[in-house]
């Protein structure tokens, strides 16, 4: 895997999480529209044949639930693959930085504090770790 592909792969769980969050909001809105609401009176004098949109909305809700489940499974599998690859790294400092930043999602400043290194040194460790990780993947 190239270094650019490795960066993209390491960012994949976060992108999947954003997509899951977006779909969850959409799901919740649609599901709320399925709840019974107050009686609505049509202001038009002549009413055309009403169409019941409830089955379509319920179908979309079920479709979103399946898609969210699939994305959660994909995110989990990606996280497990990343963790397994990081565990195979030889430099434990690089592995610790990658795990903290990409798996536990700790900001780089906090990672630098945890390993008692400067932020710049921590970024170098991450860069070198990604280079070594690309060789493993």
State pLDDT tens for residues 13-40: 999 999 999 999 999 999 888 776 555 5
Q: What's this model's pTM, rounded to 2 decimal places?
A: 0.79
> 3-class DSSP state for residue 51?
coil
CB 100 within 8 A of CB 118: no
Q: pLDDT digits over 53-103, tens only?
A: 778 888 999 999 999 999 999 999 999 999 999 999 999 999 999 999 999
């Amino acid at each position: 895997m190239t270094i650019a592909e490795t960066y993209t792969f390491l960012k994949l769980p976060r992108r999947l999480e954003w997509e899951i969050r977006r779909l969850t909001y959409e799901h919740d809105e649609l599901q709320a529209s399925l709840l019974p609401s107050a009686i609505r009176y049509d202001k038009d004098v002549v009413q055309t044949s009403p169409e019941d949109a409830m089955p379509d909305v319920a179908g979309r809700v079920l479709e979103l639930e399946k898609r969210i489940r699939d994305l959660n499974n994909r995110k989990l599998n990606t996280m497990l693959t990343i963790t397994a690859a990081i565990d195979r790294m030889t430099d434990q400092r690089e592995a610790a930085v990658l795990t903290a930043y990409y798996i536990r999602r700790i900001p780089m400043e906090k990672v630098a504090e945890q390993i008692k290194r400067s932020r710049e040194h921590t970024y170098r460790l991450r860069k070198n770790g990604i280079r070594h990780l690309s060789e493993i993947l």
